Amino acid sequence: MSSLNPEDLKNELERLRAENERLKKGSARTMSLKVSEKGGVSVYGLGRFPVTLYKEQWKKLLAMSDEIRSFIEANDSQLKSKE
């Protein structure tokens, strides 16, 4: 690449920066579901690692959704946001 002229290097740098931004945006908050090897439900895209629970656990958690929302709202000042 050292044989490229300065204009070509500048264009390549801009192309790589644009691709880097596109990749950052593409992976942000793309969530998906999969069945784990042990038969659990895994949610990908929330963080670095998937969240995996068995179906009964998901059903219990989903049944508490209103309570979880209320808890988050009531404790909003103490909770941190990753975004």
| Token output for 5 | 């002229």
Higher pLDDT, 22 or 19: 19
pTM of the model: 0.61
Mean confidence (pLDDT) of the chain:
89
42 and 33 Cβ atoms separated by less than 8 Å? yes
34 and 42 Cβ atoms separated by less than 8 Å? yes
* Domain map (residue ranges) of the chain: 1-30, 31-78
pLDDT of residue 3: 72
39 and 28 Cβ atoms separated by less than 8 Å? no
Question: pLDDT band at 82, cuts 50/70/90?
Answer: confident
The whole-angstrom distance between residue 69's C-alpha and the CA centroid of its chain comes to: 20
**Residue 16 above 70 pLDDT?**
yes
Question: pLDDT band at 29, cuts 50/70/90?
Answer: low
